[in-house]
């Protein structure tokens, strides 16, 4: 998954900020709890406000991630 996500980050960096959360880092625990993190990989698509718009658990196809990025980019901020 990492090569796919890093490739998308490269393509979308002008429009989307990618944040990686280290699950072994105890300082991210409250963020993981707030988001409802379950297992790795777990992808969250959020607006700047922190509202979760979409999420995927487990392995996800590149096409599904792109479709979500496009859909969210077209939505008005909440």
Domain residue spans of the chain: 2-74
Quote the radius of gyration of the chain (alpha carbons, Å). Answer: 12
pLDDT at 39 (0 to 100): 86
User: pLDDT tens for residues 19-45?
Assistant: 888 888 999 999 999 999 988 899 998
List C-alpha distances in Å: 39 to 10, 11, 13, 21, 24: 25, 26, 25, 12, 12
Q: Residue 77 pLDDT more than 80? A: no
Q: Residue 10 pLDDT more than 80? A: yes
Q: Residue 76 pLDDT more than 70? A: no
What is the C-alpha end-to-end distance of the chain, expressed in Å?
29
**pTM of the shown model:** 0.76
Q: Is the peptide bond before 41 cis (omega within 30 degrees of 0)?
A: yes
Q: Residue 65 pLDDT more than 80? A: yes
CATH 3.40.30 is right for the domain spanning 2-74: yes
Contact 69, 16 (CB under 8 A): yes
């Amino acid at each position: 998954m990492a090569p796919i996500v890093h490739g998308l980050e490269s393509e979308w960096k002008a429009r989307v900020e990618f944040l990686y959360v280290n699950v072994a880092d105890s300082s991210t625990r409250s963020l993981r709890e707030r988001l409802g993190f379950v297992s790795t990989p777990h992808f969250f698509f959020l607006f700047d406000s922190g509202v979760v718009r979409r999420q995927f658990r487990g392995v996800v196809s590149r096409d599904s991630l792109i479709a979500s990025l496009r859909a969210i980019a077209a939505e008005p901020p909440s």
